[in-house]
Amino acid sequence: MTNQVGKTKPKRGVSLYSYAGEYGVTMSLEDMFAEMHDMGARGLEILANSHIEGYPNPSEEWLENWDRLIKKYDIVPVEYGHWVDSRLYQGRHLTPEESYEMLVRDFKLANRLGFTVLRTKLGVIDDELTPVENWREFIKLALPMAEKYNVRMCPEIHAPTLLKSKMVDDYVQLIEETGTKHFGLNIDFGVFTTKTIPASEWGPNEFIMPESDHSPVEDIIPLLPYVYCCHAKFVKMSDDFEEMTIPYETIINTLIEHNWDGYMVSEYEGPKKDVPGYAVEQVRKHHVMMKRILGE
Amino acid sequence: MTNQVGKTKPKRGVSLYSYAGEYGVTMSLEDMFAEMHDMGARGLEILANSHIEGYPNPSEEWLENWDRLIKKYDIVPVEYGHWVDSRLYQGRHLTPEESYEMLVRDFKLANRLGFTVLRTKLGVIDDELTPVENWREFIKLALPMAEKYNVRMCPEIHAPTLLKSKMVDDYVQLIEETGTKHFGLNIDFGVFTTKTIPASEWGPNEFIMPESDHSPVEDIIPLLPYVYCCHAKFVKMSDDFEEMTIPYETIINTLIEHNWDGYMVSEYEGPKKDVPGYAVEQVRKHHVMMKRILGE
Amino acid sequence: MLERPCIQSRGFKNVESHGKVIGFQVNIRSLYYRGLWLSQLRPATVTVDGETFSGDQITWTINDVTYTQAEMAELGDVHWGLLEPATLTVAKEGGLESGSHEIEVNYTYSCSYFPPVVDTILGGTHKRTLILV
Amino acid sequence: MLERPCIQSRGFKNVESHGKVIGFQVNIRSLYYRGLWLSQLRPATVTVDGETFSGDQITWTINDVTYTQAEMAELGDVHWGLLEPATLTVAKEGGLESGSHEIEVNYTYSCSYFPPVVDTILGGTHKRTLILV
Ligand SMILES: [Mn+2]
Ligand SMILES: [Mn+2]
């Protein structure tokens, strides 16, 4: 398929999670921004708890440096990863009011840093990753503040969850019931995983995602109106720039066909994150692939 | 031998050259200062061309940070390594005036940073490391400025040079002839090397110092009045805190007996400088040894 | 920069108070990919050359503020960031001798977006041999 | 921080001028333990996928100032520090294609405190495979 010039298309970005094995040891925040700039990958995802020094109260000096770096490397702040840590205190769950406070604190900071989408990770109560029972309550409570601070809370739909599932239905129901533009979805492309790499490619201390059912790519289509950002999850790029586990060509072409123009932020979750330069090279290869499929 | 309490003794320090394989990659200037502080190794040697950002014109901001770090980590600036790069331009040697200018530029900077001893590396003209012919001329020219900026120029006496040699005699002659307190010697303990480690311990890209004659330790005694700093060169520390190639116990006890109270700055020149943490651990072991011999 | 292992060699030293050596310090960095609220942490133990310390024998210093482990359980708004090593101060009269020491640090932490069972699994034991000068 | 090898992956990209791709850039760091005066450097060559560039096809950018290799031979008071990667800009019409490239960089430098013979020996050839997006 040849992609038409001028047509609305997904855009490229990077989740700094990809560089987790290097951050603080061999790469600084500026190094990661420089990488993005080299790749023409403008869309940025940070994790608040990882990448904001002094979180949740960064210094004025840090904020000024943030503004300088965003400008210098021509970065678009896209998605701000944060958590409602429901098991923050041992022995009990956060109340709706505590969860609300935790959300609003991040709305303000995300807004200050220029982000408009939040990857909002909710606490879970069981092995099926069912969200805490009071999630509707504190999310609804927070919607007016989300509007005020111009942010969209997006739970991440992540394997083993399927796109056709009660969890996704529940989230969509809340959106439709409230008509809100401030709650949506982040789809992690890991839900489309059709292959795995051999276990032998992983190191002894690395977490291997267990195999699970996957969703067909077309299941994303009805959800697209609610999808504000995607995690372009990947596990291994071959030397000829193919991803080995996820049907990228189908995914990206589906997004193009349906005029989805949000950011796909590369999220590397393969082996050897601790080997200096390895994840960096993998992300570069990932962008060579995405650029080719996008016809950039 | 038990070292008497209260007696004048050599002091411990570190040449940042030891961390050359980590600097800029896994260690910053502050990291190196923090290492020194942990070890109670107060005496600092920097290499001007390596460790001063923006050399020879560091920014005000860098200088302020320098002052802050020196204070924070309780560091004594001891020796400032610099070079008269006689073959600075292809096809000719520097004139005495050019060499003088190069020296004075460093006097000013060393003085600003708090150093009083200079490890002054001269250009050479042959395989025997004979210094450039005009060295006496520009050194004498620079003595008044060295006095003004309170610094002592010290060529480093380094293997394969022997302490009893024409080179050392020439330097001593200049000191005695002028009576200057602003020209002296840096003795690199490598001149006392009695053993080598097996060649197999070195990596394929590492430079192995060729074996050469060594000086007996007592040859340092008559030179001590002119020695303003020593390079405590070392190649390998064993797990029981012995240096494998240089007779440290004899050297340090000789210095103590003769009331030499300058700084011995650890200079690691063994294998695996590029392996993160390796040189750092070697320097720590070196200081365990020196501390024990000094009876600290 | 930080050293790659959890247990850092920089910062390993004895600590004095009023001229007496009252213990030793070791710095750790978090190997988890995100920072942690102090109340997410479960109390650490530190073992040095086979001797184990725990509970109120250990304090944590983060960003120049020192906390007892009991206090930390209640601090849901103080954050241990990835670029900030935590200094564990271990009460041991006389401190440690100059030389080589086997250090082990153990702690776990809660992670609300994983099933509750992981709260006592994530983290674990870190070991390193350090040199005290 | 800098990457350990001489040839850095960060900074590898095509360069445009007036909307036309006129070449590519690659950053290098000095692996020598001390910084260098520009006049100590001997002109570099850059080889990409077997094609070699030299002389005035290459400029060096250090601390935001760009020098021709001819100019550098006369600059005895401009210093290339260890924390400052040098950007080599290589004139190659149309630049490089997106994908994988074999890069070689070669240069030597004088070192006055070593015997004169080393001036054409120190330094040498550095190789790395880089990905251009
Ligand atoms: Mn994800
Ligand atoms: Mn030396």
Q: What is the complex's ipTM, to 2 decimals? A: 0.94
Residue C2 lies in a domain: no
Q: What is the mean pLDDT of residues A237-264?
A: 98
For residue D17, the surrounding DSSP H or E stretch is strand D13-17
Confidence band of B148 (pLDDT split at 50, 70, 90): very high
Estimate to the nearest angstrom the gap between the alpha carbon of A235 and the chain centroid. 15
Q: Which residues of A are catalytic?
A: 158
Q: What pLDDT is recorded for position B207? A: 84
Q: Using CB atoms and an 8 Å cut-off, which of residues 264-293 of chain A contact chain D?
A: 276-277, 280-281, 284-285, 287-288, 291-292
The closest CB to that of A277, out of D9, D100, D132, belongs to D9
Between positions 95 and 124 of D, the ones with CB within 8 A of B are 110-117, 119
Tens of pLDDT, residue by residue over A48-79, are 999 999 999 999 999 999 999 999 999 999 99
- Which pLDDT tens digit goes with each residue over B157-192? 999 999 999 999 999 999 999 999 999 999 999 999
Could you read off the pLDDT of B268-290 as tens digits, one per residue?
999 999 999 999 999 999 999 99
Mean pLDDT taken over chain C: 96
Give the C-alpha separation, A228 to A118, whole Å: 9
| B293 three-state secondary structure | helix
Cα–Cα nearest to A78, from A181, A225, A227: A227
| Predicted pLDDT of residue B8 | 83
**H/E element holding D20?**
strand D20-28
Ranges of each domain in chain B = 11-294
Q: Does the structure show a pLDDT above 60 at B83?
A: yes
The answer to whether the CB of D79 falls within 8 A of the CB of D35 is yes
CA distance B242 to B264: 17
Q: Over the stretch B40-57, which tens digit does the pLDDT of each residue have? A: 999 999 999 999 999 999
Per-chain mean pLDDT for chain D: 96
pLDDT of residue A6: 56
Tell me whether residue D35 is in a domain. yes
Check residue B2 and give its pLDDT: 45
Q: Is residue D6 part of a domain?
A: no
pLDDT of residue B242: 98
pLDDT value at residue A2: 44
Alpha helices in A114-209 (DSSP H): 135-148, 166-178
Mean pLDDT for chain B overall: 96
Residue D8 falls within a domain, yes or no? no
Q: Which residues of A touch C82 (CB under 8 A)?
A: 23-24, 50
CB B18 within 8 A of CB A17: no
pLDDT at A3 over 50: no
Average pLDDT over residues C97-122: 93
The count of domains in chain D is 1
Q: Could you report the per-residue pLDDT of C44-67, keeping only the tens digit for each?
A: 999 999 999 999 999 999 999 999
Q: For residue C4, is it within any domain?
A: no
State yes or no: pLDDT of B137 exceeds 90: yes
* Class of the CATH-defined domain A11-294: alpha beta
Against chain B, the chains showing at least 3 CB pairs within 8 Å are: A, C, D
Query: What mean pLDDT comes out for the span D15-40?
Result: 97
Residue A199 pLDDT class (50, 70, 90 cuts): very high
Locate the chain C residue with the closest alpha carbon to A207: C122
Query: If pLDDT is split at 50, 70 and 90, which confidence band does A277 have?
Result: very high
The answer to whether residue D7 is domain-embedded is: no
D115-128 confidence digits (pLDDT tens): 998 888 888 999 99
Domain assignment present for residue C106? The answer is yes
pLDDT digits (tens, 9 = 90+) for D101-110: 999 999 999 9
Substitution target in C74, C113, C118 with the highest count of A β-carbons within 10 Å is: C113
Q: What is the arithmetic mean of pLDDT over A269-294? A: 97
In this structure, of A14-18, A38-42, A207-211, D61-65, the range with the lowest mean pLDDT score is: A207-211
Q: How far is CA C82 from CA A102, A296, B60, C32, C38, in A?
A: 20, 36, 30, 8, 13
- Nearest listed ligand to the Cα of residue A154: 1
Predicted structure pTM score: 0.95
Residue A210 Cα to ligand 1 midpoint, Å, equals 15
Of B51, B41, B114, whose CA–CA distance to B81 is shortest?
B51
In a domain, D54, yes or no: yes
Q: Is the pLDDT of residue B5 over 70?
A: no
What is the mean predicted confidence (pLDDT) over A201-227? 93
pLDDT band at A7 (very low <50, low <70, confident <90, very high): low
- The b-or-e profile of B2-11 (16+ CB within 10 A means b, else e) is eeeeeeebbb
Q: Could you tell me the residue range of the domain that residue D64 belongs to?
A: 13-132
- Tokens 């099933």 correspond to C115
